[in-house]
Amino acid sequence: MGIVRLYPAEWDTTPYPPKFKAPTLHTFNGKGSLNQHIYCFKSQTRNVVSNDIIMAHLFIGTLKGVAFEWFMKFPAGSIKTWANLEIFFLARFFEYDTEISVSTLLTNNQKKGESIKTFVERIQSMALRRPSGMTQSILVETCRHNLQISLLAQMGVTECLTWK
């Protein structure tokens, strides 16, 4: 059984333009910003933007991990144009550039086995996506509030069981 072509067979026989040098492109593994990936891809391939075949081939080369697995699940011949591939891509993956609410930050607890450093970096990264940002003191209090209880106990913090 040969390789299933998800795009027209003639795309494999279409030569690159003379003196064409493929740019070094960022990859996408299913995590991160879709819009950022598309924007970077288009800015790095602007000299071939009118060539669907090259755009699609280059874009497919940027897909890694779950993103490439998603692509390989398409039925044979389902990709007709670069624009078609772009629409499928944007419809499939979740955009991580959404704004983060205070309630999201406050309910985002430290994960089991997650180091304090990784947890704080994750909260900081999320706080940067807040439209108004966060002061350092609020950020520190949010992190402290969301640490695992066992770590808080080691730090000498006791759980409050009453309003008094």
Where in the chain are the domains? 9-92, 102-154
Most confident of 15-24, 95-104, 117-126: 15-24
Q: What is the C-alpha to C-alpha distance for residues 52 and 87, in angstroms, rounded to an integer?
A: 13
- Taking CA atoms, 17 is separated from 43, 47, 61, 63, in Å, by 19, 11, 18, 23
Which residues have CB under 8 Å from 87's CB, separation 6+?
none
Confidence at residue 62, expressed as pLDDT on a 0 to 100 scale: 94
User: Residues 81, 10: contact at Cβ < 8 Å?
Assistant: no
pLDDT tens digit sequence for 54-94: 889 899 999 999 889 988 888 888 888 888 888 888 887 75
**What's the mean pLDDT when you consider all of the chain?**
77
pLDDT value, residue 50: 77
| Per-residue pLDDT reduced to its tens digit, 124-137 | 777 776 666 667 77
